[in-house]
Amino acid sequence: MLIGASILVAIGFLIAFLVSVKRGQFDDQHTPAIRMLFDDSSNENKSKPTN
């Protein structure tokens, strides 16, 4: 039983990975890493740059 369960879990991960590849999650591994660093909320209030 446990063996069957372990295989099912593993297959689940395999399928999840294959789906993510197919949807293009691995096409660009660089931009998202930079994108998430942008601070979205602050720039609405700022009219003048601080530098």
Partner 1 sequence: MKNTTTSEITKCYHCGEQCDNKSIAIDDKIFCCNGCKVVFEILSENNLCTYYDLENNPGNTNTTPLFKEKFSFLDDHSVAAELLEFSDNGISKVTFYIPSMHCSSCIWLLEKLYRLNPYITNSRVNFVKKEVSVTFRDREISLRKIAELLTSIGYEPQINLSDLEKKHQVHSHKKLYAKLALAGFAFGNSMLFSIPDYIDFSAGLTQNFKTVFSVLNILLSVPVLFYSASDFFISSYKGLRKKILNIDVPIAIGILALMLRSLFEVLSQSGGGYFDSFNGLIFFLLLGRLFQEKTYATMSFERDYKSYFPASVTVIENDIQSVIPVSKINIGDTILLRNQELIPADALLLSDSASIDYSFVTGESEIVEKHKNEMLYAGGRLSGSNIQIKIIKKVSQSYLTKLWNNDIFQKNKKQNLSELSDKVAQYFTIAVLLIASVSGGYWMTIDWKIAINVISSVLIVACPCALALSIPFSFGNALRIFGKNKFYLKNIQTIERIKSINHIVFDKTGTLTWKQKPEITFSQKLSNDEQKWVKTLAQNSVHPLSRYLFDHLDVETSGDIKDFVEISGKGMLARIDDHEVQLGSASWLDHDEILRDNKASNVHVAIDGNYKGYFSIVNSYRPGLRSILKTLGSKYKIALISGDNSREKEIFEKIFEDQGIEGTIKFNQSPYDKQAYVLRLQAAGDRTLMIGDGLNDAGALKQSDLGISISEDINAFSPACDAIIDASQFKKIPMFLKYAETSYNIVIVSFILSFLYNIIGLYFAVSGSLSPLIAAVLMPLSSISVVAFSTISTRLIAKKTGL
The two structure tokens encoding residue 10: 């593993």
Minimum distance, C-beta of residue 44 to partner 1, in the bound complex (Å): 7
Under DSSP, the state recorded for 42 is G
- Whether the CB-CB separation of 12 and 6 falls below 8 Å is answered with no
Smallest gap from residue 29 Cβ to partner 1 (A): 8
**Residues in Cβ contact with 26 at an 8 Å cutoff, skipping those fewer than 6 apart:** 20
Rounded Cα distance, 21 and 45, in Å: 39
Sites for partner 1 among residues 1-51 (CB under 8 A): 3, 7, 10-11, 13-14, 17-18, 21-22, 24, 26-31, 34-35, 37-39, 42-44, 46-51
> Which residue ranges make up the site for partner 1 (CB under 8 A)?
3, 7, 10-11, 13-14, 17-18, 21-22, 24, 26-31, 34-35, 37-39, 42-44, 46-51
